[in-house]
Amino acid sequence: MDTLWLVHRSMAEYSSRYMPGCGWLPASWQDSAGLARSLRGMARSNPMALLEGYGSASGYPPLRQDIQQHLHGIGIHAELEQIITTHGVVTAIDLLGRYLLQPGDVVLVDDPGYFHSFGQLQTMGAEIIGVRRGRQGPDTEMLAEL
């Protein structure tokens, strides 16, 4: 899998207004005025919240508690200390990859999938194998062949 080619291709200028593989929304879809209103409202109600600290390194506690309750509801017991949230998939893959992967490990990824993650995994020494994904999820026949 040529991750560098995928990155270059996603950043290329196209005549199309929509680039679903790029990972960002067109500017016309962004509600800049709404975001500005929200920031002003937050600054009025708790101005120091914009300036003080970074919060918990494990993530927003009420969100982690909601995740814990959801997991409990499906039969998974997890202590709050075992649950972390990240800023996104890139950070999550970085944490998990550093903890779990050894050079040469095989990682199955969705194909099509988030190519930034493919490159991230490759820099950790993982061998990437794309698994076709359809409307119902991963191609189980392909998985069985692997």
Same domain, 72 and 93: no
Q: Which domain holds residue 127?
A: 89-146
Cα torsion 3, 4, 10, 11 to 10°: value is: 160
pLDDT 10s digits, 74-109:
999 999 999 999 988 889 999 999 999 999 999 999
Domain end point (choices 85, 100, 132): 85
Among 12, 37, 32, residue whose Cα is nearest residue 22 = 12
Note if the pTM is more than 0.75: no
d(C-alpha 106, C-alpha 137), whole Å: 20
Q: Is residue 6 part of a domain?
A: no
Q: Is residue 120 part of a domain?
A: yes
pLDDT 10s digits, 27-46:
777 888 998 898 888 888 87
Alpha carbon separation from 17 to 10, 27, 29, 35 (Å, rounded)? 13, 10, 11, 23
Same domain, 125 and 144: yes
Whether 80 contacts 70, CB under 8 Å: no
